[in-house]
Amino acid sequence: MTITTLKPETAAQVTDAVRWALSAGEPLEILGSGSRRGLGRPVQAGHVLDLSGLSGVIAYEPEELVLTALAGTPMDTIRVLLADRGQHLAFEPPEGGTLGGLVASGLAGPRRISAGSARDHTLGIAGVSGRAEAYKGGGKVVKNVTGYDVPKLMAGSFGTLTALTEITVKVLPAPEDTATLLLFGLDDAAAVAMLDRALRSPYEVSGAAHLPAGTAARSGVADVAGAGGAVTLVRLEGFGPSVAARVTMLREELRADAVLGRDESLALWREVRDGGWLGAGTDPHPNPPPLGGGGDYRRSAASAPDSLPRPAGEGRGGGNRSDTSHLWKLSVPPPPAPPPSRPSAGRSTSRSSMTGAAGWSG
């Protein structure tokens, strides 16, 4: 299967590409850096719309806690920019990828239990709909209350609703200090009970995880890898004195076996966030596109009109990249319930049973 990759460099070119695909009846696979290709159902499309060319930070206002960037901006670039000002994306997104791919996949890290997900931190978007209409949703301020909250729909949509071109996100100050309580040797049931106890406590837990023995042994943190069994993790973050006080009280309450300091905690929760243990020795892209079956998906660059952005290459993702990927998720709503039928003439049916089953009365 030969796939043509279209790589626009402006939002107008994205609109042109979607308009052409719509008129030609051609499905498009929306691609960023390809870091999430293994998620969801593979796309059967003859053309890839590679948005990595739309890259760059448009506006960053640290005092207003707002950042606006093009959808293809690498997350590594954004992380460095925010870290220089002592800020971060509080929902702890996984390593790699682009800002658009992050929002489209709706991913979040261990801090989701306290800070929410990508959906809760996306303030505004610009993009192109499946009708080739460029539009904007949301705004560029934290307290935005105008119009429909369209940006939240983009989180987890996997490119099925809009080809994103620009995104505004909320940023927050990074925690000054981090500590992690370790509990050794708990079985799964006891670990869940202990994590539940920690999360119900007043100590503002920002991360909770249980690592079975085999998983813990693969950690790069010595105290975890050398535990010789399962390890249960409870994270506390915030201002230094506050963290120290909460660690002391929660350690006594949980009877924790050890406490990790800031550097080791950061390293350990990066492992939890990125799930590196889960993919050890496996194919990082388990859902390649089908290579045969219901149709001929071969296309050539010549089939696209001259007004479209020039192809970056052929093959999935374009060029010579072998690690490119796609974002896709298919949601099918349940079939509607059959309409209620009225009782036939002469049939005795009580009013209460009619009201309960069909919602009518009288």
**Among 45, 38, 73, 44, which residue's Cα sits nearest to residue 58?**
73
Q: List, for residues 117-161, the tens digit of each pLDDT value.
A: 999 999 999 999 999 999 999 887 766 666 678 999 999 898 889
The closest alpha carbon to 309, from 13, 11, 90, 5, belongs to 13
Residue 115 CB partners (closer than 8 Å, separation 6+) = 90, 91, 92, 108, 121, 172, 206
Residue 259: phi and psi, rounded to 5, are -130, 130
Amino acid at 52: S
Closest CA relative to residue 173, chosen from 83, 294, 96: 83
Q: Using CA atoms, how far apart are residues 127 and 74, in angstroms rounded to an integer?
A: 18
Secondary structure letter of residue 288 according to DSSP: P
Exposed / middle / buried, residue 322 (Cβ in 10 Å: 0-12, 13-18, 19+) = exposed
Nearest Cα residue to 167 out of 149, 144, 151 = 151
Q: Between vectors from CA 119 to CA 7 and to CA 40, what angle results, nearest 5°?
A: 60
Query: Roughly how many angstroms between the first and final C-alpha of the chain, as a whole number?
Result: 63
Beta strand 177-184 pairing with 134-138: unpaired
- Is the pLDDT at 330 greater than 50, yes or no? no
Tell me if 20 sits within 8 A of 308, measured CB to CB.
yes
Q: What angle do CA 109, 115, 116 make, to 5 degrees?
A: 75
pLDDT at 112 over 70: yes
Helix (H) or strand (E) holding 356: helix 351-358
Name which residue leads in pLDDT, 309 or 184: 184
Span 226-267, pLDDT tens digits: 999 999 999 999 999 999 999 999 999 999 999 999 999 999
pLDDT digits (tens, 9 = 90+) for 283-296: 444 444 443 333 33
Q: Which amino acid is at 37?
A: R
Q: What is the DSSP string of 61-109?
A: EGGGTEEEEETT-BHHHHHHHHHTTTEE-TT-PPSSSBHHHHHHHT---
Among the residue ranges 53-57, 275-279, 307-311, 354-358, the one predicted with the least confidence is 354-358
Which residue has tokens 């008129």? 23
Q: With beta carbons less than 8 A apart as the criterion, state whether 132 and 15 touch.
A: yes
> How far, in Å, CA of 109 to CA of 118, rounded?
10
Q: What is the rounded average pLDDT for all residues in the chain?
A: 79
Strands 47-50 and 28-31: what pairing? parallel
Q: What percent of the chain has pLDDT over 70?
A: 73
Residue 236: what pLDDT?
98
The pLDDT of residue 279 is: 53
In a 13 Å sphere around the CA of 311, the CA atoms on its Cβ side amount to: 22
Give pTM, 2 decimals: 0.74
For residue 254, what pLDDT is reported?
Answer: 96
The burial class, CB within 10 Å (0-12 / 13-18 / 19+), for 293 is exposed
Kindly report, residue by residue over 38-61, the tens digit of the pLDDT. 777 777 788 899 999 999 999 999
- Relative to beta strand 177-184, strand 258-260 is antiparallel
28 φ/ψ sector (left φ>0, alpha ψ -120 to 50, else beta): beta
More confident residue, 286 or 19: 19
Length of the chain: 362
